[in-house]
Amino acid sequence: MPDSSSAPPLHDPTALAKFGSLEVVAKLLVEGDIIGQHKSPFKGASVEFVEHREYYPGDEIRHIDWRAYAKTGRYFIKEYEDETNLRCNLFVDCSGSMAYAGSTLSKFAYARQLAAALGYLLLAQRDSVGLVAFDTKIRERCEPATGHHRFQQLVAALDRCKPARETSLGPVIEQILPRLHRRSLVVLISDCFDGIDALATALKRFRHARHEVLLIQVVAPEEEDFPFARPTQFRSLEQTTDRRLVDPHRLRKHYLEQYAEFNRELECRCVGLGVDRLKVTTADPYHVAIGAFLDERAKAKGRRK
């Protein structure tokens, strides 16, 4: 762990991203700014045996049921009530639009750091965490698991991802849903620059399968206020040959109206589907998003009591 005297301010995502590896920064964020400030909303008191599930790389070997192995020749993990209170799948958008950086770090850099920090926090509480990185198809996949090796596996998968191509959540959901055998928390981290109807359909399928869903919408400050003044060439980060020179003064009013309408429609769809939505910019401290995540989990647990 680096010397804390040389550590960057935890409220500055751009400085943090330049400071060190994904693994180091995630630990700095959680251990330095989150643990101890929020009471865990996940843990129960029971340690009763619940069920078996298939062993996945990264699971603790001590939880293998050797009697089941002797009978079947397959590895199964014993799960207990306190270890099954939360099973979380992190979905991270690595499409081309997530590469936009502007005055801060890119949306993808922010999203993957946020995913790493959430993964580290949940694993520290012995929750089960999985990962799906996607654009038009699945690029990285880690099955939900616990154990001290799981965090390194999540970080390695996120490090391998590079933002490119278009976004298409629908086909990804088609592949993933049949493999989500148990109810879980789905955390989707994306700029949501997919068609509203397509995105809503994907969210609806998660909810129909009785998964809880939290949508974390990551946007750049420039997408919020469109500060451009001089004639500017814009290019699509998903269609690399599409470039347009525009006058920002003429475009700004229309853009802001369309952007506001997009966000209103997205919020309306989320409310209708029972999906929690959190919008953050890449200039917002990570602990704002993580704290909001924990608060939402605490509220959800309170509603279930």
> Given the structure tokens 């050797």, which residue do they identify?
66
pTM of the model: 0.76
The yes-or-no verdict on residue 105 having pLDDT over 50 is yes
In this structure, the number of other CB atoms found within 10 A of the CB of residue 100 comes to 19
Distance CA 114, CA 212 (A): 19
Mean pLDDT is lowest, of 49-58, 59-68, 111-120, 164-173, for 49-58
Distance CA 53, CA 101 (A): 41
Q: Which of residues 231 and 169 earns the better pLDDT score?
A: 169
Looking at residue 141, its pLDDT comes to 93
Listed in order, the ranges of the chain carrying CATH 3.40.50.410 are 7-43+85-304
In this structure, the number of other CB atoms found within 10 A of the CB of residue 241 comes to 6
Residue of 240, 207, 23 lying closest to 117 (CA atoms): 23
Band of pLDDT at residue 41, cut at 50, 70 and 90: very low
> Given the structure tokens 């278009």, which residue do they identify?
166
| Fold classification of 7-43+85-304 (topology level) | Rossmann fold (3.40.50)
The mean pLDDT value for 59-64 works out to: 73
What distances in angstroms separate CA 169 from CA 86, 129, 175, 269, one per listed residue? 23, 20, 10, 16
For 294, how many CA atoms within 13 A lie in the half-sphere containing its CB? 22
First vs last Cα of the chain: how many Å apart? Answer: 40
The yes-or-no verdict on residue 86 having pLDDT over 90 is no
Q: What is the mean pLDDT of the chain?
A: 79
Q: Which range among 83-92, 160-169, 235-244 has the greatest average pLDDT?
A: 160-169
Angle of helix 107-124 relative to helix 150-160, nearest 10 degrees, comes to 170
Looking at residue 268, its pLDDT comes to 97
